[in-house]
Amino acid sequence: MKFSLINVEKEENGIIEGVWLQDHTGTLKTAIENAIATEKANNDRLDIAVVEALGFTEPNYSLQKGLKRLDGCRNRPI
Domain for residue 61, yes or no? yes
Domain for residue 20, yes or no? yes
Domain for residue 6, yes or no? yes
Q: Domain tally for the chain?
A: 1
Global pTM value: 0.89
Residue range 32-77, pLDDT digits in tens: 999 999 999 999 899 999 999 998 888 888 999 999 999 986 655 4
Domain for residue 45, yes or no? yes
Domain for residue 46, yes or no? yes
Domain for residue 42, yes or no? yes
CA–CA gap between residue 47 and residue 63 (Å, rounded)? 15
CA–CA gap between residue 52 and residue 45 (Å, rounded)? 23
Dihedral, CA of residue 22, residue 29, residue 14 and residue 38, to nearest 10: -40
